[in-house]
């Protein structure tokens, strides 16, 4: 079993890999680089090893600064030649699933943006609780509204599977499910909400809601959070 963490960089001003890396490293009692060179194995204390693969998809214009520490630790960087400059997260997801995901049953893929954070025990709790082909988590959005996105929390529950009440970071997909049927429409900026509506309508028995799990949205955005847990 493994979890693939997919991070599309979205802005040359925000490549906050260090803070997210610290959270990913904290997902167990110790972290070592796996024998293949691109797998990070996390021990949860009882001999239960789970592979965590972190892939960062950059746009062609992104800087390579700060990459060395991550590549040495096994993080994989991608510069997809087929994507346009400033490709959005939907396009990067589609490219990654089409080109890099094998569709292994029992393995998972989760997208986190380069300014999101997760609690230190996020994946441990995910693996030790109910999960399905689609697992929906909650997302907290700070204490202050900055820009377009409000600060109201988005709780994992069926009535929130609509535009404006669910974000891409809240989806955790089984690899084989993602490979077979999860591609985002790249024509507008509301496809995560439309994906939520589609999943609730077409695959209701495949969706598990985990309100106890939460992503911290735009945790490194200036002015949004007074305190990040």
d(CA 19, CA 124): 19
Residues 76-103 have pLDDT tens digits of 778 777 776 555 788 889 999 999 898 9
In 3D, which of 167, 171, 137 has the Cα closest to residue 149?
A: 167
Residue 212 domain boundaries = 2-216
List Cα–Cα distances, 174 to 83, 104, 109, 134, 171, in angstroms.
Answer: 25, 8, 6, 7, 10
Binned average pLDDT, 10 residues per bin, the chain of 229 residues:
74 54 55 35 36 71 58 71 71 90 89 80 85 97 89 96 94 96 85 94 97 90 86
153 domain-assigned: yes
Domain count, the chain: 1
> For the residues of 189-225, what is the DSSP string, one character each?
S-HHHHHHHHHHHH-GGGEEEEEEEEEETTTTSTTT-
45 domain-assigned: yes
179 domain-assigned: yes
211 domain-assigned: yes
HSE (CB half, 13 Å, CA atoms) of 162? Answer: 3
48 domain-assigned: yes
Q: What is the dihedral of CA 113, 123, 229, 14, to 10 degrees?
A: -20
Three-state secondary structure call for residue 9: coil
157 domain-assigned: yes
Q: What is the dihedral of CA 58, 217, 196, 86, to 10 degrees?
A: -30
* Helix residue spans in the chain (DSSP H): 17-25, 68-72, 89-99, 122-127, 175-181, 191-202
227 domain-assigned: no
224 domain-assigned: no
Write the CATH number for 17: 3.90.550.10
Match 């024509």 to its residue by tokens: 187
In terms of pTM, does the model score above 0.85?
A: no
HSE (CB half, 13 Å, CA atoms) of 69? Answer: 8
């Amino acid at each position: 079993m493994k979890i693939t963490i997919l991070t599309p960089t979205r802005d040359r001003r925000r490549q906050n890999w260090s803070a997210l890396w610290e959270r990913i490293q904290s997902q167990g009692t110790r972290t070592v680089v796996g024998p293949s060179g691109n797998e990070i194995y996390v021990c949860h204390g009882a001999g239960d090893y789970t592979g965590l693969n972190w892939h960062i998809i950059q746009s062609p214009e992104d800087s390579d600064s700060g990459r060395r520490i991550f590549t040495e630790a096994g993080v994989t960087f991608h510069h997809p030649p087929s994507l346009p400059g400033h490709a959005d997260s939907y396009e990067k997801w589609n490219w990654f699933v089409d080109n890099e995901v094998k569709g292994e049953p029992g393995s998972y893929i989760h997208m986190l943006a380069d300014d999101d954070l997760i609690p230190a025990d996020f994946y441990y709790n995910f693996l030790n609780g109910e999960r399905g082909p689609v697992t929906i988590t909650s997302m907290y959005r700070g204490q202050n509204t900055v820009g377009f996105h409000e600060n109201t929390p988005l709780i994992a529950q069926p009535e929130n599977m609509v535009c404006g009440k669910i974000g891409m970071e809240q989806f955790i997909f089984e690899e084989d499910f993602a490979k077979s049927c999860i591609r985002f429409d790249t024509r507008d900026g509301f496809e995560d909400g439309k994906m939520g509506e589609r999943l609730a309508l077409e695959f209701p028995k495949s969706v598990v809601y985990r309100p106890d799990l939460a992503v911290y949205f735009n945790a490194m955005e200036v002015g949004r959070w007074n305190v990040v847990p």
